Protein backbone atom coordinates (compact mmCIF):
# COMPACT_ATOMS: atom_id res chain seq x y z
CA UNK A 1 0.00 0.00 0.00
CA UNK A 2 2.78 2.42 0.86
CA UNK A 3 6.08 2.73 -0.91
CA UNK A 4 9.19 4.78 -0.50
CA UNK A 5 10.02 7.14 -3.37
CA UNK A 6 12.91 9.59 -3.20
CA UNK A 7 13.05 9.24 0.58
CA UNK A 8 9.31 9.85 0.96
CA UNK A 9 6.63 7.37 1.98
CA UNK A 10 3.54 7.62 -0.23
CA UNK A 11 0.32 5.65 -0.75
CA UNK A 12 0.53 3.44 -3.80
CA UNK A 13 -2.88 1.98 -4.37
CA UNK A 14 -6.11 2.32 -6.24
CA UNK A 15 -9.61 1.86 -4.92
CA UNK A 16 -12.61 1.78 -7.20
CA UNK A 17 -15.29 2.28 -4.54
CA UNK A 18 -14.63 3.90 -1.18
CA UNK A 19 -16.31 2.31 1.84
CA UNK A 20 -19.05 4.46 3.34
CA UNK A 21 -19.82 4.16 7.03
CA UNK A 22 -22.02 6.26 9.27
CA UNK A 23 -22.43 5.10 12.85
CA UNK A 24 -24.86 6.41 15.46
CA UNK A 25 -24.50 5.41 19.12
CA UNK A 26 -26.03 6.61 22.36
CA UNK A 27 -29.24 8.51 22.97
CA UNK A 28 -30.40 12.03 23.68
CA UNK A 29 -29.24 13.41 27.02
CA UNK A 30 -32.04 13.94 29.49
CA UNK A 31 -29.99 16.28 31.69
CA UNK A 32 -27.90 18.76 29.71
CA UNK A 33 -26.53 20.60 32.75
CA UNK A 34 -23.19 18.83 32.15
CA UNK A 35 -21.87 18.50 28.60
CA UNK A 36 -18.68 16.59 27.85
CA UNK A 37 -15.58 18.61 26.96
CA UNK A 38 -13.61 18.24 23.75
CA UNK A 39 -10.58 17.18 25.82
CA UNK A 40 -12.60 14.33 27.33
CA UNK A 41 -13.70 13.23 23.85
CA UNK A 42 -10.07 13.29 22.69
CA UNK A 43 -9.07 11.19 25.71
CA UNK A 44 -11.75 8.63 24.76
CA UNK A 45 -10.49 8.59 21.17
CA UNK A 46 -6.99 7.84 22.43
CA UNK A 47 -8.37 4.57 23.83
CA UNK A 48 -9.27 3.31 20.34
CA UNK A 49 -6.34 1.69 18.57
CA UNK A 50 -5.81 0.71 14.96
CA UNK A 51 -5.11 -3.00 15.53
CA UNK A 52 -2.67 -3.27 12.63
CA UNK A 53 -0.51 -0.30 13.62
CA UNK A 54 -1.18 -0.33 17.38
CA UNK A 55 -1.46 3.46 17.62
CA UNK A 56 -4.62 5.25 18.69
CA UNK A 57 -6.89 6.85 16.10
CA UNK A 58 -6.32 10.37 17.41
CA UNK A 59 -2.52 10.29 17.23
CA UNK A 60 -2.70 8.54 13.86
CA UNK A 61 -4.46 11.66 12.59
CA UNK A 62 -7.60 9.78 11.63
CA UNK A 63 -9.91 12.23 13.41
CA UNK A 64 -10.64 15.22 11.18
CA UNK A 65 -13.37 16.98 13.16
CA UNK A 66 -15.09 16.82 16.56
CA UNK A 67 -18.24 18.86 17.05
CA UNK A 68 -20.09 18.89 20.37
CA UNK A 69 -23.56 20.43 20.36
CA UNK A 70 -25.17 22.38 23.18
CA UNK A 71 -27.27 19.30 24.02
CA UNK A 72 -24.29 16.94 24.26
CA UNK A 73 -24.50 15.29 20.86
CA UNK A 74 -21.08 14.57 19.37
CA UNK A 75 -20.37 14.48 15.64
CA UNK A 76 -17.04 13.07 14.52
CA UNK A 77 -15.56 13.02 11.04
CA UNK A 78 -12.80 10.50 10.63
CA UNK A 79 -10.91 8.59 8.01
CA UNK A 80 -8.77 5.47 7.91
CA UNK A 81 -5.19 4.93 6.85
CA UNK A 82 -6.35 3.23 3.67
CA UNK A 83 -9.64 2.79 1.83
CA UNK A 84 -8.84 -0.93 1.75
CA UNK A 85 -8.52 -1.15 5.54
CA UNK A 86 -9.99 -4.49 6.62
CA UNK A 87 -11.32 -2.80 9.78
CA UNK A 88 -13.26 -0.10 7.88
CA UNK A 89 -16.53 -0.96 9.58
CA UNK A 90 -15.23 -1.87 13.03
CA UNK A 91 -13.01 1.10 13.88
CA UNK A 92 -15.78 3.75 13.47
CA UNK A 93 -17.97 1.58 15.75
CA UNK A 94 -15.21 1.49 18.37
CA UNK A 95 -14.86 5.27 18.12
CA UNK A 96 -18.61 5.80 18.60
CA UNK A 97 -18.79 3.35 21.51
CA UNK A 98 -15.80 4.88 23.29
CA UNK A 99 -17.18 8.42 23.07
CA UNK A 100 -20.76 7.34 23.87
CA UNK A 101 -19.53 5.79 27.12
CA UNK A 102 -18.57 9.21 28.51
CA UNK A 103 -20.74 11.15 30.95
CA UNK A 104 -22.29 14.24 29.37
CA UNK A 105 -22.58 12.70 25.91
CA UNK A 106 -25.84 12.28 24.05
CA UNK A 107 -25.99 10.82 20.60
CA UNK A 108 -22.66 10.12 18.89
CA UNK A 109 -22.50 10.21 15.12
CA UNK A 110 -19.33 9.05 13.33
CA UNK A 111 -18.93 9.67 9.62
CA UNK A 112 -16.16 7.94 7.71
CA UNK A 113 -14.82 10.35 5.08
CA UNK A 114 -12.10 10.04 2.44
CA UNK A 115 -11.45 13.66 1.57
CA UNK A 116 -8.88 14.74 2.34
CA UNK A 117 -7.12 11.42 2.03
CA UNK A 118 -5.10 10.36 5.05
CA UNK A 119 -1.33 10.60 4.73
CA UNK A 120 1.60 10.06 7.05
CA UNK A 121 1.97 13.81 7.56
CA UNK A 122 -1.21 13.68 9.69
CA UNK A 123 0.60 11.62 12.35
CA UNK A 124 1.20 13.32 15.69
CA UNK A 125 4.77 13.60 16.94
CA UNK A 126 3.92 10.86 19.44
CA UNK A 127 2.86 8.50 16.63
CA UNK A 128 5.95 9.38 14.57
CA UNK A 129 8.09 8.55 17.58
CA UNK A 130 6.30 5.22 18.08
CA UNK A 131 6.80 4.35 14.41
CA UNK A 132 10.42 5.54 14.55
CA UNK A 133 9.95 7.96 11.65
CA UNK A 134 10.59 11.28 13.42
CA UNK A 135 13.25 12.39 10.94
CA UNK A 136 11.64 11.18 7.71
CA UNK A 137 10.11 13.50 5.15
CA UNK A 138 6.47 12.41 4.91
CA UNK A 139 3.98 12.92 2.14
Domain edges within the chain: 2-138
67-112 tens-digit pLDDT: 999 999 999 999 999 888 888 889 999 999 999 999 999 999 999 9
Determine if the pTM surpasses 0.95: no
Are the C-beta atoms of 99 and 43 separated by less than 8 Å? no
Q: What does the alpha-carbon distance between residue 138 and residue 48 come to, in Å, rounded to a whole number?
A: 24
For the segment(s) 2-138, the CATH number from 3.40.50.620, 3.40.50.300, 3.30.300.130, 3.50.50.60 is 3.30.300.130
- Provide the β-strand partners of residue 111: 22, 77
Instruction: Kindly report the three-state secondary structure assignment for every residue of 78-118.
Output: ECCCCCCCCCCCHHHHHHHHHHHCCCCCCCEEEEECCCCCC
50: Cβ contacts below 8 Å, ≥ 6 apart: 56, 57, 60, 62, 81, 87, 91
DSSP 16: S
Q: What is the CA radius of gyration of the chain?
A: 16
d(CA 72, CA 56): 24
Per-residue pLDDT of 18-74, as tens digits, reads 667 788 898 999 899 999 999 999 999 999 999 988 999 999 999 999 999 999 999
Amino acid sequence: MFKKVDGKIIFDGEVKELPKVEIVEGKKLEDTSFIVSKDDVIDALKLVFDPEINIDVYNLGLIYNIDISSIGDVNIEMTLTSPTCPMAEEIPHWVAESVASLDGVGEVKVNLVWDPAWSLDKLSDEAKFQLDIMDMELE
